[in-house]
Amino acid sequence: MSGGLDFTGKVAVVTGAASGIGRATVRAFARQGAKVVAADRDAGVHEVISEFEGVLAIEIDAAEENDVRRLVDIACDQFGGLDIFYANAGISGGTAGILDADVTLWMEVLRVNLIGPALAIKYAAPRIVARGGGAILCTASVAGLRSGAGGTPYSASKAGLINLVQTAAQQLATSGVRVNAICPGLIETGMTQRAFDYARQQGKEEKLGQLNPLRRAGRPEEIAEVALFLASDAASYVNGQAIAVDGGLSSSFPVTRQIYGKPAF
């Protein structure tokens, strides 16, 4: 897909860029000619920039207001403006259920997964407007679409993020800024690596992704391709949407987790 997209002259910020989807997206934007600021609180973000010119690495907390403000300022100061912000940073919070998750876990998951993207929109949108318009993207999840694909705090945070994207798209009407969410299914990233490693150790790698019609897990690069499309002029009429990229998983969630009584399956 990306072969037909040209981001020459565009400036993009990607958070959660040290690994997984963020790392793949930084590389994809850079290959298509964009100037990119790769941001992560993991020092490994500096490794991402080694193969490309015009890519800057910044260590920040993507849910800390001063850090997000500084990140946007750096992008504009270094590259002359901002066209695209991809709020990709997130945490899983584990698999805690509604009766198990404590307030500390809830607060941290919501801080990173929901408040972080809200700050990205708050500080990126005015700068993108100043450039004549562009795109804000957020990584949500199929877990935010309906039950059965993640822990309770994580799922709730991603559902909130989808609504945030819809609300922001409406409030930014006529600004030239489009806001969309990507909802990945099972993708091999730092967040899911333990599950992938365990399956391989048990000789059950073929079971990864078996619940979706494609019968496989996804790759970070497949999410990056969708990010490039949504950030491009080719998606000029796509706004306020939550795009599932999950091999068809969200067409039917066949998982029920019960606390009381017999499991449904």
Tell me what pLDDT residue 11 has.
98
Over range 181-206, report the average pLDDT: 68
pLDDT in tens, 15-34: 999 999 999 999 999 999 99
- Read off the pLDDT band of 203 (50, 70, 90): low
**Vertex 129 angle, CA 126 and 133, to 5°:** 140
Query: Is 52 or 4 the better-scoring residue by pLDDT?
Result: 52
Query: Is 193 or 30 the better-scoring residue by pLDDT?
Result: 30
Residue 106: pLDDT over 90: yes
CB 45 within 8 A of CB 114: no
Residue 197: pLDDT over 50: yes
Query: Is 161 or 246 the better-scoring residue by pLDDT?
Result: 161
E-assigned strand segments in 164-263: 177-184, 242-245
Q: Residues with catalytic annotation?
A: 154
**Vertex 243 angle, CA 114 and 19, to 5°:** 60
Tell me what pLDDT residue 265 has.
44
- Read off the pLDDT band of 87 (50, 70, 90): very high
Residue 190: pLDDT over 70: no
Residue 189: pLDDT over 80: no
Dihedral (CA of 135, 138, 139, 141) sign: negative
Residue 176: pLDDT over 90: yes
CB 236 within 8 A of CB 259: no
As separate numbers, helices (DSSP H) first and strands (DSSP E) second, the chain gives: 8, 7
CB 161 within 8 A of CB 181: yes
Under DSSP, is residue 62 helix (H, G, I), strand (E, B) or coil? coil
Tell me what pLDDT residue 118 has.
98
Q: Which of 82-86, 93-97, 165-169 has the lowest mean pLDDT?
A: 93-97
- Read off the pLDDT band of 258 (50, 70, 90): low
- pLDDT averaged over every residue in the chain: 89
DSSP-derived secondary structure letter, 264? -
Q: Which of 55-64, 73-82, 201-210 has the lowest mean pLDDT?
A: 201-210
Tell me what pLDDT residue 264 has.
47
pLDDT in tens, 204-222: 556 555 677 877 878 999 9
